[in-house]
Amino acid sequence: MSILTGKKILLGVTAGIAAYKSASLVRLFIKSGAQVKVVMTPAAKEFVTPLTLSTLSKHPVHSSFTNEEDAMAAGRQDNAIWNSHVDLGLWADVFVIAPATANTLSKMANGVCDNLLLATYLSAKCAVYFAPAMDLDMYKHPTTIQSFEKLNNFGNIMIPATSGELASGLVGAGRMAEPEDIVAFIENDILGKLPLRGKKVLITAGPTYETIDPVRFIGNHSSGKMGFEIAKAAANLGAEVILITGPTHQKVSHALIDVIPVVGAQEMFNEVHKYYKNSDVAILSAAVADYKPKEVASQKIKKKSETLTLELEKTKDILASLGDLKKKQYLVGFALETNNELENAKGKLKRKNLNLIVLNSLNDKGAGFKTDTNKVTFIDDKENISEFQLKSKAEVASDLLNKIISEIDA
């Protein structure tokens, strides 16, 4: 899965011959999992039709400040509705202007605002990428170079033009980067700026099932939702994630997440130790069984008496074993408590040599297993305590990753 999955991408198309490539660019962004809207300069419609781009993007294409202007240009009479450049600018996570002509780049650099695209650019709060497309002499002209420098100083990001045959017949620099290269450039740029880029994060999730006989097991009510949300949040921040999960219905598809399914505590212990040594961060949110049957029946146990006695033995304490081995890793554990919550969590933090423990209580409505929300308290190894209100598990995951980033970057 691309880092662009779920992103809202606004594509700005200006009046250059390379505008014909914008159709392919829209398709590639959508294939990457992004939502796409398109805003064009009026003259750009001479090179590629709004109908083509709206069909591919599944959104209306805007080129004027009101839809009345667009309708009249198409020979229709519609009631005027304002196309808000502010709303478009705020909607986008990424604004890509491709092709970006010398004319538009000069206007962007000097604050000229005479069409919807430029007004949207001046309203955008997101990252802005521009892919120049123009003839050789225009590309090398001092005013164009000055536009590049100004836009770079504004924090805009240039996707360099390539060399090749140009519309004029000349051969040289000024050819817009190919759509595939534009997508790859943006993906790599976003990844390179993410705070967990290059970090390896190990996460456990879900319950473990401890076998009694071929059809029965000892388990718990963990759904794995919290661990999966943490994995997604870490991957979206650039981390390479190993997600070791017990039996769960949760699913995730992300290029940076490697999902390893396990069943029992011993299997989870083995897999965690396989990857822990090379991890920078380990977050153990799985609800691992504390005990397992000492003997596992090879055949289904028949109902022969009113009672059944099972002898249980302790499972290996995965979290404690990692605390004993800890060197460079930032180690996070979870504590689900029903009484003496804070004291029990602090004790677990120290006994298991953790950097941070996430406390949640079954006494808090909306927290715990099988919910989409959680109410947590962070306690770090300096005994700093941070309490949070009830939030979605996605928001809790974000808070946790922000806390970890602040610690490992300190």
User: In this predicted model, what pLDDT tens digit does every residue of 297-326 receive, in sequence order?
Assistant: 999 999 888 898 999 999 999 999 999 999
Q: Which pLDDT tens digit goes with each residue over 134-165?
A: 988 899 999 999 999 999 999 999 999 998 77
Average pLDDT over residues 259-273: 98
> Has residue 1 been placed in a domain?
no
**Does pLDDT of 75 surpass 50?**
no
Residue 37 pLDDT > 80, yes or no? Answer: yes
Q: In total, how many domains does the chain have?
A: 2
Q: Of residues 77 and 207, which shows the higher confidence score?
A: 207
297: CATH: 3.40.50.10300
pLDDT band at 38 (very low <50, low <70, confident <90, very high): very high
Within-domain flag for 13: yes
Whether residue 276 is found in the same domain as residue 340: yes
* Domain extent for 62: 8-193
> For the domain that residue 173 is a member of, what is the CATH number?
3.40.50.1950
| Whether residue 385 is found in the same domain as residue 238 | yes
Chosen domain end from 193, 222, 243: 193
363 is catalytic: no
Residue ending a domain, among 159, 193, 227, is 193
Residue 401: inside a domain, yes or no? yes
Check whether residue 169 and residue 241 sit in a common domain. no
What percentage of the chain reaches a pLDDT higher than 70? 93
Q: Are 362 and 271 contained in the same domain? A: yes
Question: What would the mean pLDDT of 200-219 be, rounded to a whole number?
Answer: 96
Whether residues 170 and 257 share a domain: the answer is no
Amino acid 78: pLDDT = 54
Looking at 193, 211, 237, which one is the last position of a domain? 193
- Residues 161 and 217 reside in one and the same domain: no
Instruction: With a cut of 90, say whether residue 267 has pLDDT above it.
Output: yes
Q: Which residue has the higher pLDDT, 68 or 22?
A: 22
**Parallel, antiparallel or unpaired: strands 312-314 and 291-293:** antiparallel
Identify the burial level of 249 via C-beta atoms within 10 angstroms of its C-beta, where 0-12 means exposed, 13-18 middle and 19 or more buried.
Answer: exposed
Q: Considering just the CA atoms, what is the radius of gyration of the chain in Å?
A: 28
Residues 175 and 217 reside in one and the same domain: no
Instruction: Name the least confident of 63-72, 327-336, 383-392.
Output: 63-72
Q: Is residue 80 over pLDDT 60?
A: no
From 103, 220, 344, 353, the catalytic residue: 220
pLDDT band, very low/low/confident/very high, at 69 (cuts 50, 70, 90): low
In a domain, 208, yes or no: yes
**pLDDT for 173:** 79
223 and 104 co-located in one domain: no
pLDDT at 74: 46
What is the secondary structure of 150-212 as a DSSP string? Answer: HHHHTT-EE---EEEE-TTS-EEEEEPPPHHHHHHHHHHHHHHHSTTTT-EEEEEESB--EEE
